[in-house]
Chain A
Amino acid sequence: MAKAVEAGGLTKDYGGGRGLFDLDLVVEAGEAFGYLGPNGAGKTTTIRLLMDMIRPTRGAASVFGLDCRRQATEVKQLVGYLPGELAQFGAMRGGEVVAYLGALKDGLDRRLVADIARRFDLDLGRRYREYSRGNKQKLAIAIAFMHRPQLLILDEPTSGLDPLNQQEFYRLLRGVREDGATVFLSSHVLSEVEHVCDRVGIIRAGRLVQTAGLRELHHMRVHRVELEFEGRPPTHLAEVEGVEDLRLEDGRLTCIVRGAFAPFMRALAGVEVVNLVSHEPSLEDVFLASYREQPELTAPA
């Protein structure tokens, strides 16, 4: 079976070192692939190249064996797309936006749209300009899913959604995956990708630096931990697997925990913990920690 997404030497050079360079990527059919990278890394550029919104400087990409450039129309018949920036539909009602875009290709599933709208509590009778940011995002999700596409290309899909609706979105995504859909999801939030993806590609400064399974991703995860305690200082924590850069002062401990959290938690048994705060650093910090010789973690933004 043809690969869901295949890119070979895909490049978009904007000049001044900006763009996407020499992307070689394969996403298998039925897979959920997370495309991770900090802001400006090239995630949206990649997606827009796949969608033939922009043209490559060199290289090529295909979706289910169809060339993204030469067979762009056929590609889009198979794709459900959620762009990173929301379109504006002014005075049109949500339902009218669905009807308008839904009629442009065959296979609109009105029942699915109604189901998504109910699950997200999205009133399709309201005018688009009256929607909050989150509701506009929900409508964009409904539009991406409404034709039951074989491939979902989603650019920052939970942007603007509250945690409850994020969870609802992950459930929705799991549902379509059970139906055999492939997912290509871009994000700058590690935990979002962890919820839904089998495999992750990490892009930085326009280059794909690594592809990894989730297990390897867990190994890359880093937390900055701040712990307040009473009694004896828990200096034994420095010996725990994954703990780095441990510092103690006046009933307060800070350290970095890399990878699995369980050993650290087990080692806390017997420690009189007053307060524990764990920060997930920004993805940029994860990359810096992963790729520098002397990793330094900063507090999350």
Chain B
Amino acid sequence: MLGLAFRQQRWSLVAFSLGTAMVGFVNSLAFVKTAGPAAAEQAQFGREMAAIASQFTILTPLPLQVGTMAGYVQWRYFGAQVPILLAIWAVSAGTGLRGDEEKGLVENWLAGGVSKLALLGWRALAFGLGLVAMVVLVAGLSWAGAQPQGGLGWAGLLADGLAAAALVLSLYGIGALASQLAPTRRSAAGLAGGATVILFLLNGLGRSDAGFARYRGLSPFYWYERTDALLVGGRLDLGATSLLGGVALVLLMLSWLGFRRRDLGSSWFRLPVPAGRPEYRPRDSAGLELPVLAGLYPQRLALAVWALGLAALAYLMVVEAKPLADAITGIPGLAPYLTRLRATLFVAFVDIVGFGIATPMLAVFTITQVSRWAGDDGEGRLELVLAEGVRRERVVIERVLGLALAAGLLSALTGAVVFFESRALGFELDAGRVALASALMVPLALSFGVAGSVIAAWRPRIAVPALTFLVVAGYFITQLGPIFRWPAWADDLSPFYLYGNPLSNGIYWTGFFAMAAITGVGLVLSLLAMRRREVGR
């Protein structure tokens, strides 16, 4: 059973462990590039980062000793990137068994005599052992990346890795419990993901807001941060780490209780089905009968959640941009000179941070759409659609138009929140620039979307992992390019870079035409692939 449990999780285990470890390697390697080689430069960098990053405590811990490699890695990598990356893994892995249940595998295993406790337990154990491998890999690659510049302590890296593993295990427990409360994997992932985001923000808001501070203890991210073993004077907080492990155990026990009590295919608590007469006549449903809209209508609830989430994110980023601008323009002695730049700084921060986060989130949304397209094929829906006489080309075109429409709505809402919240804070943004920044998110989404469309039309099963790789690679190009001073053409490989900074600088025409070209070429390739391929299982 352990082998089977490993097998079911092997790809996510490899991808996330390796991916997270590579990020650690790059962070270690990038410190000197970012802060400079000399101690004085690094100290200055540390002071600047401390001033700026203290405004971002909603997302990252307070930066400490950031002028050293250890402090930089502790803050940026273990403090911000590791929890976010591994939270995604935890939610995905924690809800994995529900996915197997939908495929009918759980029924087979139970029929073969495996108990529900064994199924949950072996799966959690396999995940835990995978975490051990992840800890070693993260420590190893971070250590390797730091070697050319003096190195990082093994003990500190392993201790931080251990704390991260405990955090991830607790989030895995949330995923496992969500799988018992929600009837499908998709809804379980949404529930677990939402809970994780709330807990993450609770910790983040609690860093600077007294009102939220009293509730920080409810967040596993708070207990994770109490370990800062890479810092001088830092340590592995055994109590906090053990608490996370205990929370994970309690959540897994609750999951088992729910799994034991519920029927397969249903949720632990079910709303009573209202006694009503059966419906024999199909309802009229304009949403399902109109081209393009018919593809979006079934996911209207998910779209609403995405819209709310992006709107909330935009609101938070605008709110965070104000104190950032205030902090810089409030530097004593420089205030008379910098005050006039306050609005400019505010716009720059909204552009870099606000839209800088919204655009990757929109790319994630695009991945969810491509996942649906791939699912259309694997779950037989595409075959039925084509059987009704729909041209294969129409399927591709409607998918892309649907993505454009959904991305347009999401980005319009994001732009509206940015504009009106900025105004409420006393900053009058250029409405045209805000509209431009929002509108350009559509070709960004389409750039990724058509890539996903090509892959989904050609090899549906690899569409999601392949597109995820492209999105992650594109994101890291924007992060690493400036640090390692890559040539411009390398930067242009990333659609995020092609998007530019429209709020601050207007439209980046090269980028716009490149995104348009990618969309055009991708659309043509999708049409060709869909026309040629064979459909069905």
Contact = CB atoms under 8 A, between A and B. Distances in A.
A90 B535 CA distance: 20
A190 B17 CA distance: 55
Contacts of A94: 282
B289 to A, nearest CB: 4
B383 A53 contact: yes
Contacts of B282: 94-96, 98-99, 102, 110, 113-114, 124
Interface stretch (B82-90, B204-212, B311-319, B387-395): B387-395
A92 B294 CA distance: 12
Interface in A105-120: 105, 110, 113-114, 117-118
Nearest to A79: B387
A53 B385 contact: no
Nearest to A102: B282
A60 B183 CA distance: 46
Contact of A99 (B279, B283, B384): B283
A125 B381 contact: no
Contacts of B534: 53-55
A58 interface: no
A95 B282 CA distance: 4
Given A76-B387, A103-B288, A87 B379 contact: yes
A113 to B, nearest CB: 6
B242 to A, nearest CB: 40
A216 interface: no
Interface string B375-415: 00001110111111111000000000000000000000000
A110 B389 CA distance: 19
A296 interface: no
A117 to B, nearest CB: 4
A77 B280 CA distance: 25
Contacts of B278: 121-125
Interface string B214-234: 000000000000000000000
Interface string A211-226: 0000000000000000
Nearest to B379: A88
A84 to B, nearest CB: 10
A201 interface: no
Nearest to A81: B387
B299 to A, nearest CB: 10
Contacts of A129: 183-184, 265
Nearest to B295: A100
B239 interface: no
A126 B289 CA distance: 19
Nearest to B388: A104
B274 to A, nearest CB: 11
A85 B536 CA distance: 10
A86 interface: yes
B485 interface: no
B386 A76 contact: yes
A85 B288 contact: no
Contacts of A87: 379-381, 383-384
Interface in A224-247: none
Given A48-B536, A53-B535, A91-B298, A101 B280 contact: no
A73 interface: yes
B281 A104 contact: no
Could you say which of B278, B280, B534 has the most chain A C-beta atoms within 10 Å of its C-beta?
Answer: B280
A103 B536 contact: no
Contacts of A95: 279, 281-283, 285
A169 to B, nearest CB: 17
B276 interface: yes
A86 B380 CA distance: 7
Interface residues of B, number: 34
Given A54-B534, A87-B379, A101 B384 contact: yes
A82 to B, nearest CB: 9
B288 A83 contact: no
A101 B388 contact: yes
B20 to A, nearest CB: 31
Contacts of A102: 282
Contact of A85 (B290, B298, B380, B388): B380
A73 B389 contact: yes
B386 A96 contact: no
Nearest to B382: A87
Contacts of A118: 280
B283 A96 contact: yes
Contacts of B294: 100, 103
Nearest to B535: A53
Contact of B535 (A54, A85, A89, A110): A54
Interface in B257-271: 265
B255 to A, nearest CB: 21
Nearest to B384: A87
Contact of A100 (B288, B383, B389): B288
A285 to B, nearest CB: 28
B387 A117 contact: no
Contacts of B279: 95, 117, 123-125
B283 A88 contact: no
B374 to A, nearest CB: 13
Contacts of B186: 90
A181 interface: no
Interface string B171-192: 0000000000001101000000
A6 to B, nearest CB: 20
Contacts of B391: 73
A117 B280 contact: yes
A87 B298 CA distance: 16
A143 interface: yes
A93 B283 CA distance: 10
A183 interface: no
Contact of B387 (A83, A93, A124): A83
Contacts of A100: 285, 288-289, 294, 298
Contacts of B283: 93, 95-96, 99, 124
Contacts of B384: 81, 83, 87, 101, 143
Contact of B281 (A76, A83, A89, A114): A114
B335 to A, nearest CB: 57
A85 B378 CA distance: 11
A104 B394 CA distance: 11
A41 interface: no
Contacts of B281: 95, 110, 113-114, 117, 124
Could you say which of B290, B385, B390, B536 has the most chain A C-beta atoms within 10 Å of its C-beta?
Answer: B536
Contacts of B298: 90-92, 96, 100
A208 interface: no
B379 A104 contact: no
A27 B290 CA distance: 36
A51 interface: yes
Contacts of A122: 278, 280
B383 A99 contact: no
A284 B281 CA distance: 41
Interface of B: 183-184, 186, 265, 276, 278-285, 288-290, 294, 298, 379-381, 383-391, 534-537
Interface of A: 48, 51-55, 73-74, 76-77, 79, 81, 83, 85-96, 98-105, 110, 113-114, 117-118, 121-125, 129, 143
Given A81-B387, A114-B282, 4 more contacts: A48-B536, A55-B534, A77-B389, A88-B381
20 contacts: A53-B387, A54-B534, A73-B389, A73-B391, A76-B389, A83-B380, A86-B380, A87-B381, A91-B184, A93-B283, A94-B282, A96-B298, A98-B282, A99-B284, A99-B289, A104-B388, A110-B281, A113-B282, A114-B282, A117-B280
